[in-house]
Chains A and B, each alone.
Chain A
Amino acid sequence: MIRIAAVGDVHLDETVRGRLRPALDHVHEHADVLLLAGDLTRHGTLSEAEVVAAEFGGLPIPVVAVLGNHDYHSDQQDDIAALLTDSGITMLEGDGTVLRVDGHRLGIAGVKGFGGGFAGKCGSAFGEPEMKSFVRHTAEIADRLGRALKDLDADVRVALTHYSPVPDTLRGEPPEIYPFLGSYLLAEAIDAASSDLAVHGHAHFGTEQGVTPGGVRVRNVAQPVIRAAYSLYCIEP
């Protein structure tokens, strides 16, 4: 049994330091790994990242994370990732990690992801350079996710993103903004790698449960959705 704890969109800064820690102090009693699905900070500053490092650092189980759009807001995303790496958090962006859990190999591949929309209702790399750049950014990220998932030498594969791979978990959000909340290209990459679970955040008004067109379970762990310090998912390989 592999026990996965996951949360996204914690949006930490100095004013909420320590808020999650009472629950996190016991997370190892319930889970083998903790996944963080981006938007760890509020404005994407290094001082906020230090709060994230204090909140999630030093836990007795591995912590694996991707950044979200808030973490890019101050153009310090690389420094934030480096700071969190130094605190012991495994930061993913187009790569993966394999953990040994209960005699099984748990592989996790992660990217921030991006928008673009969902099958039949999505943007195309056509027209103005801004539009081409927008859609290509998503396509490149999805390609990197797909390669990272396939490269995992693991019994169980989990995709970790900030943006959503499916519209299912966006129910509750206005349909007009779905193209800014995720992309079907992420789901296509997840399906192509025969993944076992996809975890994302970003959609605060969305719902927790969804599924990709290929049948992979998707869970939106944005904290306003799960209304707890983290959610728990158990997989029997």
Chain B
Amino acid sequence: MTEQQENVPAQYVAARLRRMLAEDPRTAEQGVRVTVRGQQVMVSGDVASPERREQLEVVLREAVPDMVVHNDVRIVRAGEPTDREELT
């Protein structure tokens, strides 16, 4: 993304970043949200590892170097379930 971010409506910036995170092979994440508020970019959702969480931030910072990126992504748990559901 090369255009001046301040001249681009936030919705378009968020949409382009969201598509980028899905289509860039370094991230390939469809299951994350991107929210743009002024010069702030928030990314949230769940990924499988700390490395994938970090990679989302790397790709975003590359795309919008002049914006502030907040990484709210969580690592999904992979432990045994604590309960079970009885379908009666």
Contact = CB atoms under 8 A, between A and B. Distances in A.
Interface string B54-88: 00000000000000000000001111111111111
B78 A228 contact: yes
Interface stretch (A10-18, A83-91, A95-103, A111-119): A10-18
A227 B84 contact: no
B84 A223 contact: no
Interface residues of A, number: 37
A77 interface: no
Contact of A15 (B46, B49, B80): B49
B9 to A, nearest CB: 17
Query: How would you classify the secondary structure of chain B's contact residues: helix, strand, loop or mixed?
Result: loop
A11 B46 contact: no
Contacts of B3: none
A19 B45 CA distance: 19
B38 interface: no
Shortest 10 CB-CB distances between A and B: which pairs? A204-B31, A232-B84, A224-B46, A228-B81, A23-B80, A227-B77, A16-B48, A234-B86, A229-B78, A235-B87
A233 interface: yes
A19 B28 contact: no
Contacts of A229: 78-81
**Most-contacted residue by chain B among A12, A73, A217, A227 (CB, 10 A):** A227
30 contacts: A3-B84, A9-B31, A12-B48, A15-B52, A16-B48, A16-B49, A19-B49, A19-B78, A22-B79, A23-B78, A30-B80, A30-B81, A70-B28, A197-B87, A204-B30, A204-B31, A205-B31, A222-B31, A223-B46, A224-B31, A227-B46, A228-B79, A228-B82, A230-B80, A230-B81, A231-B84, A232-B81, A232-B84, A232-B85, A233-B84
